[in-house]
Amino acid sequence: MIFVTVGTTLPFDELIRQMDHLVESGTLENRVVCQIGTGKYRPRFCGFFTFEPSLDSWYRQASVVVAHGGTGTVLELLRMQKPFVAVANPLAADDHQVQFLRKLESVDSVLWCRNLEQLHEYIQKAVRYRPRGLTSHSLARHLMERIETPGDGRSRKHVGRFLLERIMVGKVKGRSG
């Protein structure tokens, strides 16, 4: 089963629409279940739901997860060592998901699909892919070293501390970042 999550904050209809198309066309033969959040598009060829208190059971059941680029979701999937493909939601403020995935890719080689037309290829790669095995503390340290000072005046130390908390606290149940 492939599980798709868009988080709880922003709609990501383009991702859900693309997954629905991949199932409809027969490109994906796996069962697909989508957490669509606040999105308006209702898939016709995938199972779906809007919200649940926790996504942990869906993560555990899935052979691959396709996830928005939210900090909490991505870090949780890394912590679980779950095969996944990250897709940055273009509606995210200040393109922060792109910035986060770019930094994460530089230290952990996360599978990051930048073009939904290539999503099927990334899903196929994810089945066999395992990210570089950094400990949570090492990952936080590497990210802190590579993060530029945000434009909103927060210091690098503040952003690094935020990331370290997200990583070390562990589960961010069903939340997006």
Closest CA to 142 of 168, 107, 169, 100: 107
Query: What stretch of H or E contains 167?
Result: helix 156-169
Mind listing the pLDDT tens digit for each residue in 18-51?
Answer: 999 999 999 999 999 999 999 999 999 999 999 9
Give the pTM. 0.78
Q: Which residue has the higher pLDDT, 67 or 92?
A: 67
Please tell me whether residue 113 adopts helix, strand or coil conformation: coil
Mind listing the pLDDT tens digit for each residue in 47-84?
Answer: 999 999 999 999 999 999 999 999 889 988 988 889 99
Question: In which order are the strands placed within the sheet that holds 32-35?
Answer: 47-49, 32-35, 2-5, 64-68, 84-87
- The CATH fold assigned to 2-169 is Rossmann fold (3.40.50)
CB distance 61 to 1 below 8 Å:
yes
H helices present in 45-135, as ranges: 56-61, 71-80, 96-108, 119-128
